[in-house]
Amino acid sequence: MTLTGEILARSGLSQAELARRAGMPRSVVNAYVRGKREPGADALARLAAAGGFDLTLSPRRPPVDPERASRILVQVLELAEALPYRPRPELGYPHLRDRIAAGGSAR
C-alpha cells in the first residue's frame, strides 16, 4: 500500500474528499493511491494534513550496525568452512581464514 493509500484508509475519507481538502484534483490523488505517480514532499504534507495527520522528521539509525554485522558474518563463514564436506578438487583461491590472517580483503 502506498503512503497516500494509507493516509486515505486511516482518515476514513473518500478520495474526492481527501483531494478537496488537500486542494488537488481527485485524479491526482487516485494516481498517488494506485502507485502510478509519487507525490512530492509538499503534496504528501498537504495530503497528510488533509487526512488529519502530521508528517514529522525524526533521526534515523542505520538498520544494521556494520561492526556487529561483520563479526557475525565472519563467524558464519568460519562455521560454514568447519562443516563436514565431501572432498572436491582444490580450488584456486585461499581459504577465508588464510586471507583474514594475511590482512587481505574478504571478497
The predicted-structure confidence for 43-82, as pLDDT tens digits, reads as follows 999 999 999 999 888 888 778 888 999 999 999 999 988 8
pLDDT-based confidence at residue 102 (cuts at 50, 70, 90): confident
Percent of the chain with pLDDT over 90: 62
Position 104 scores a pLDDT of: 59
Rounded Cα–Cα distance for residues 74 and 50 (Å)? 50
pLDDT confidence of residue 39: 95
DSSP states of 30-93 as a string? HHHHHTSS---HHHHHHHHHHTT----------SS-HHHHHHHHHHHHHHHHHS-----PPPSS
Query: Please, what is the average pLDDT of the chain?
Result: 88
3-state secondary structure of 2: coil
For the cut 90, the answer to whether the pLDDT of residue 96 exceeds it is: no
pLDDT of residue 105: 55
Predicted model pTM: 0.55
